[in-house]
Amino acid sequence: MISVLVVDDSAAVRRIVTAALESDPGIAVVGQAVDGQHALELADELAPDAVVLDIEMPVLDGLAALRRLRAAHPRMPVIMFSTLTERGAVKTLEALSLGASDYVTKPTGTASLAESASEIAGQLIPKITALVGTAQALQAVDQPLPPPRPVLAPGEATRPEVMMVGCSTGGPDALAALLRDLPFNLRVPVVVVQHMPPVFTAMFASRLDRVSALTVTEAVDGEPLEAGHVYVAPGDRHLSVHRSDDRVLTRIDAGPPENFCRPSVDVLFRSGAHVYGPGALGVVLTGMGHDGTAGCRAVQASGGTVVVQDRASSVVWGMPGAVVQAGLAHDVVALDKLAARLTELVRG
C-alpha cells in the first residue's frame, strides 16, 4: 500500500484529490495538510511514501515547504499541484529546479467534480506509483544499477548530424544538467521533446537558454535547424523534422497523440531517422512509460546511434529502461557523464 500526504489550503481540493487517489486500492491518503508548515509536521509524523503539494498556500507556501522537505526527506517523491497559467508555470518550473519529482496541473474551473476527480486520478496515480517504486528501489541499492540486458556493441558509427532528445518525468532537471554541460560550439542542432503542457514550454525553453551556452528556443513551424541551437517542442504539439531542398526544417502539428503523448518522442525520432539516416543520434532521458522506444527502433534501423540515461541517475527509468530492455541502446550513461559522451560522439 502506497501512503500519500495531500497538501492544499482548499478543503474542497483536498477532498477531490483524496477521493481521486483512493479510487486506486493500492493507495491510501494518510494525512491532509492545510499549509506548508502543517505539511512538514505531518511528513515527519507520518513518513508518507509520497507528497502531493500545492504551490500557493498561506503560512508557508509550496516552494518554501519543498526546500525544507527536500532537506529532511531527500528521496521522498514530491509532486507539485499546479495551475495551468503563466504564473503557475513559473512557480512549477522553479519547484522542479528545487527538487520536486514531478507536477500535475489542476483541472479547469469548468470541469464537474466527477470530471475533476477522474482527471486528477489519471494524472496522479501513474506518477505516484512510478515515483514511489523508483524511490524504494534506490533506497535498497546505493550503487549504480546495471541495465537488465547487455547494451548493443557500438559499430562503425557515422558522426551525428542531429541530436534528438526525449524525456518526461524528471526531464526538466535532467535537460538543464545536460544542456549546461554541452559546449557552445556543438556542431549539430539539438531537438527536444519534453512531455509538458502548453504555456509551460515557452518558459521552460527560456529557463534552459539561461543555463546553456547554446541558443534554446521553443520551436516554431518551418524554421531551419542550425548547429548550436536547441529547439523545444511546444506543449500539446508534435515536433518533427523534414528536408526541403538542402535544408532541414521543423514541422509542428496537432496530429493524434502517440503513447498518450503530444508531443511524442516517437514522432520526432522517426522523422529524424528518415531525414538523417545514420547521422541520427537519439537520446532518451528519465521518464515514465515507453515513448521513444519505437522511435529508437527507427533510429537503429537507419544506422543511427541511441544513447540513454542510466537507471541510478534517472528519476524514473521507464522510457530509457524500455529502450534498453528492447536491446536498442548503444550506450547507457549516467547523467553527469552524458554531455561528455554525446560531445565525443558528435566530434567523431
pLDDT digits (tens, 9 = 90+) for 286-300: 999 999 999 999 999
Q: What is the pLDDT of residue 117?
A: 87
The answer to whether residue 153 is domain-embedded is: no
The answer to whether residue 53 is domain-embedded is: yes
Same domain? 204 vs 302: yes
The answer to whether residue 157 is domain-embedded is: no
Average pLDDT over residues 295-316: 95
Same domain? 322 vs 287: yes
The answer to whether residue 298 is domain-embedded is: yes
Is 249:242 a contact under the CB 8 Å cutoff? Answer: yes
Same domain? 66 vs 184: no
Q: E-strand spans in 296-335?
A: 305-309, 331-333
Same domain? 103 vs 179: no
Is 189:226 a contact under the CB 8 Å cutoff? Answer: yes
Q: Which of 82, 116, 173, 195 is catalytic?
A: 195
Q: Which of 168, 240, 313, 314 is catalytic?
A: 168
The answer to whether residue 152 is domain-embedded is: no
Same domain? 303 vs 190: yes
The answer to whether residue 202 is domain-embedded is: yes
Last residue of a domain, one of 109, 140, 171: 140
CATH code of the domain covering residue 302: 3.40.50.180
Same domain? 221 vs 101: no
Q: How confident is the model at residue 126 (pLDDT cuts 50, 70, 90)?
A: very high
* Rounded-to-integer distance, Cα 218 and Cα 314, Å: 24
Q: Is 195 designated active site? A: yes
Between residues 109 and 337, the one the model is more confident about: 337
The answer to whether residue 4 scores a pLDDT higher than 80 is: yes
Same domain? 180 vs 278: yes
Q: What is the rounded average pLDDT for all residues in the chain? A: 91
Same domain? 177 vs 45: no
The answer to whether residue 190 is domain-embedded is: yes
The answer to whether residue 193 is domain-embedded is: yes
Between residues 75 and 218, the one the model is more confident about: 218
Its domain, for residue 197, covers 162-347
What's the domain count of the chain? 2
Same domain? 221 vs 321: yes
Q: What is the pLDDT of residue 140?
A: 45
Same domain? 73 vs 195: no
Q: What is the pLDDT of residue 113?
A: 81
The answer to whether residue 169 scores a pLDDT higher than 80 is: yes
| Residues near 11 by beta carbon (within 8 Å), at least 6 away in sequence | none
- For residue range 191-243, list pLDDT tens digits in order: 999 999 988 999 999 999 999 999 999 999 999 999 999 999 999 999 999 99
| Residues near 140 by beta carbon (within 8 Å), at least 6 away in sequence | none
Q: How confident is the model at residue 139 (pLDDT cuts 50, 70, 90)?
A: very low
Q: Is 168 designated active site? A: yes
Q: Which of 291, 302, 313, 314 is catalytic?
A: 291
Average pLDDT over residues 94-115: 85
Lowest mean pLDDT among 28-42, 77-91, 137-151, 253-267: 137-151
Q: What is the pLDDT of residue 86?
A: 84
Last residue of a domain, one of 140, 172, 193: 140
Between residues 190 and 138, the one the model is more confident about: 190
Last residue of a domain, one of 140, 171, 201: 140
Cβ atoms within 10 A of the Cβ of 214, count?
Answer: 20
- For residue range 14-73, list pLDDT tens digits in order: 999 999 999 999 999 999 999 999 999 999 999 999 999 999 999 999 999 999 999 999
Same domain? 221 vs 281: yes
